[in-house]
Structure 1
Amino acid sequence: MPNLGELIKNKRKAAGLSQRRLGEACGLSDSEIMKIEKGQRKTPSWKSLCEIAQALGFHPFEILLKAGYITENDINPGLKLHGLDKLDEMDLETVQLFVDFLISRKSTDRISEGGL
């Protein structure tokens, strides 16, 4: 698995860009790109990494994960509910009531089964 510098270098070469062209595309110097690719820049800023990802046309999560700014759990949390952003405050309150009901029912089921 490539390290951060190798990831950027591979993506840059696949895009057919020189370090200079990539630097121009994301507002960094070609020497900064070189330092990142060679691992001489130990902690490049997350902003620079996002700009590199955008210039190379891939999702910033991939580069931020490789750099250690985020974890796999940040990207793919264990609990997944989709579409919550489309609900208004009243809808979210209703969802919370339903979740509370399900939790309460599970507790009640355990008691009736002699689990507590």
Structure 2
Amino acid sequence: MDNKLLKTENETFGEYIKRIRELRGYSQRRLSEITGLSNTTISRIEKGSIENSDTDTVVKLANGLDLNKEELLITAGYLDNKKENTQLESIKDYIKLGLKNLGWINSYDDINEETRKEINTTFF
């Protein structure tokens, strides 16, 4: 990833999203159109009013801002930046790892059928 696209140590997640949006030349309204997120949601993320955006929102932002999904999930705190994470092959694996890191599951078998369907519908 380009160095100017990396989050700096002192930036909050919201400040980072705002900086990348501006680097891309997008208004909040344009990013809203691209991602399907509301202007209000984007504004609240950038202002830090939403501390932890859900993974779906982070993935939509990554797609809209043309950022690596894995990197943005790491930046948002859903994934570790540990070396073993780079061995994962799909976004589904990253979601499972994120859920495990959050303490919501111990294994994929812990995810109920409704959640599995939602993951498959949302990301695939």
- TM-score relative to the length of structure 2: 0.58
Q: How far off is 1:79 after superposition?
A: 9.2
Q: How does 1:5-84 map to 2 (within 5 A)?
A: 5-73=14-82, 76-77=83-84
Q: How far off is 1:62 after superposition?
A: 2.0
Query: Can you give the 5+ residue segments of structure 1 that lack an aligned partner in the other structure?
Result: 81-116
| Structure 1 runs of 4+ with >6 Å offset | none
Please identify the structure whose Cα radius of gyration is greater.
1
SS at structure 1 position matched to 2:41? helix
Q: How does 1:86-101 map to 2 (within 5 A)?
A: none
Q: How far off is 1:40 after superposition?
A: 0.3
Q: Which amino acid aligns with 1:22?
A: L
SS at structure 2 position matched to 1:42? coil
Q: Which amino acid aligns with 1:29?
A: S
After superposition, the CA RMSD in angstroms is 1.8
Q: Which amino acid aligns with 1:77?
A: E
CA distance in 2, matches of 1:60, 1:38: 21
8 Å Cα contact 1:49/1:64 also seen in 2: yes
Identity %: 35
- Equivalent residue pairs, number: 78
